[in-house]
Amino acid sequence: MAGDQNKAIFVFTALALVFLPLSFSASYFGMNLKGLTDMDRTVTDIWKVCETVSFCIILQVILLAFRYRIATRLSP
């Protein structure tokens, strides 16, 4: 039972890793930024922040998903 649950969570995590960045990209390109004229930042600045946040979230998810495999490989 626990093995099936672990496998299901692993599959869910793998699918989320694929579809979350795609969803984020679709949301980003769907934004209407021309109406935000009072901003001091450019679209490039917004994109840099979004990329950094996405990378950090994806890295944390990967590390959490594989923490047991990483721990067993690093232990003597």
Longest C-alpha distance within the chain, in Å?
57
Domain count, the chain: 1
pLDDT tens-digit map of 13-59: 888 887 887 788 788 777 776 665 666 777 787 788 888 888 888 88
State the residue range of the domain holding 39. 2-74
- Phi, psi (rounded to 5 degrees) for 30: -90, -5
Yes or no: say if 17 and 58 are a contact pair by the CB < 8 Å rule.
Answer: yes
pLDDT tens-digit map of 57-66: 888 888 887 8
What's the start-to-end Cα distance of the chain, in Å? 30
What is the reported pLDDT for 38?
A: 65
